[in-house]
Amino acid sequence: MSSRVLLLVASALGHRMGYRDPVEVRRKVERQQRRPAAFGPPKRLDRHCRVTAHFRHGWPCYEVVPRDGDAQVQVLYLHGGAYIEEVGDNHWNLIEKLATSGAARVVVPVHPLAPRGTASTVVPDLTALAGRLTADGTLPTVFMGDSAGGGLSVTLAQRLRDTGGTPPAELVLISPWLDAVLDNPNIADLQPHDPMLGVEALRYCGSLWAGELDLAHPWVSPVRGSLAGLPRTTVFAGTRDILTADARRFRDLATAEGVDVDFNEAPGQIHVYPLWPTSEAHQARSHLFASLPGPAFSPLAK
């Protein structure tokens, strides 16, 4: 698929496939509460990966490793979906590529969604999981996430820093949602070009995730917390995504704190564009793979 076709599809179906229409987003939440969506990995992963699961926290946590060869890096993957939708096919596609092309051990927590799961109830459990992974030390550990999962990746790194835990080796943020307040004045310049996201709809999702916390709380809006001491961070963003305004803000604030930020902004690309089947996404994934620790990563992985 070309990025032009993807943009046309997103423009036509953005009210359904994205988070632009507040009414449709509310219906998504209601449907998920009434009939939860499937979340498990597709059967095709079994052909090339070994998949296991545990329920230590009362919710599933999957481990995906390559069938052939040893893992060279460990990735904690935190999926997007505005905190209200489950891990989906695009996420599993990337997770499969990380395992098969990248020789990664990928840990995929499927935490409770908002409004049942909120930042104050989920972040502590995810921090405990993240801390066990980084403390193990057998493999370098990367926190990676898209959209809401990108924001969570930063939150977990901040929590480990503040509690004396072992930090991750790197953060990889794909179109990260870093501020649920969404009051960045530069959003207004991006909104007319974004076919998938809208401020009002996202703010509603953010309020469900925040629960009793304020939207500006660092567990909900990590760009408002301290960015000092974060590990090397790779960011992917597109110019047709309102969240890019706060991704740029993160870049500037983190760089000022001495964080090494590899910031990749793709002209004309929509929200979480590296997860879509386009040539621009392939280029982004190649850069992503090449940036990670572990010699087995192949920049040619498709």
Rounded Cα distance between 196 and 173, Å, is 18
128: exposed, middle or buried (Cβ count in 10 Å: 0-12, 13-18, 19+): middle
Residues 6+ apart with CB under 8 A from 15: 21, 24
Residues 6+ apart with CB under 8 A from 7: 195, 240, 268, 270
Amino acid letter for position 196: M
**Among residues 101, 147, 175, 286, which one is catalytic?**
147
Residues 6+ apart with CB under 8 A from 222: 151, 154, 155, 158, 178
Q: Give Cα separations from 37 to 30, 56, 86 (angstroms).
A: 12, 21, 7
**Among residues 91, 241, 246, 286, which one is catalytic?**
241
User: Do residues 229 and 177 make contact, with C-beta atoms less than 8 angstroms apart?
Assistant: no
User: Do residues 171 and 272 make contact, with C-beta atoms less than 8 angstroms apart?
Assistant: no
User: Do residues 18 and 196 make contact, with C-beta atoms less than 8 angstroms apart?
Assistant: yes
**Among residues 79, 91, 111, 271, which one is catalytic?**
271
- 241 as an active site residue: the answer is yes
User: Do residues 196 and 242 make contact, with C-beta atoms less than 8 angstroms apart?
Assistant: no
Rounded Cα distance between 198 and 177, Å, is 12
Phi, psi of 232 (to 5 degrees): -50, 135
- 146 as an active site residue: the answer is no
For residue 135 the two structure tokens come to 């403390």
Rounded-to-10 torsion of CA 133, 138, 139, 144: 0
- 252 as an active site residue: the answer is no
Active-site residue list: 147, 241, 271
